[in-house]
Amino acid sequence: IIGTTNPDVMEIMKQLYAPFMRKSSRILYMDPASAELTKYAANVMLATRISFMNELSGLCEKFGADIEKVRGGIGSDGRIGNSFLFAGVGYGGSCFPKDVSALIHIGQSNDYPMTIAQSVQRINYGQQDRFSDKIIQYFHGREKQTQLGVWGLAFKARTDDIRESPAIRCVRRFVEAGIKVVAYDPQAAGGDLQGTIRRVANGYDVLAGSDALVIFTDWQEFRTPDFEEIAAKLSKPVIFDGRNLYDPKFVRRFGIEYHSIGRPVS
Q: CA–CA separation, 72 vs 66, rounded Å?
A: 10
**For residues 202 and 207, what is the distance between their CA atoms, to the nearest angstrom?**
10
95 is catalytic: yes
Is 242 within 8 Å of 218 (Cβ atoms)? no
Which one is catalytic: 41, 46, 65, 95?
A: 95
**Local structure of 232: helix, strand or coil:** helix
Neighbours of 116 (CB within 10 A): 17
Cα(201)–Cα(252) distance, rounded to whole angstroms? 27
Residue 261 CA to residue 266 CA, distance in Å, equals 12
**HSE, side-chain direction, 13 A CA sphere, residue 76:** 5
In a 3-state reduction of DSSP, which class is residue 259? strand
Would you please indicate which residues are annotated as catalytic (active-site) residues? Answer: 95
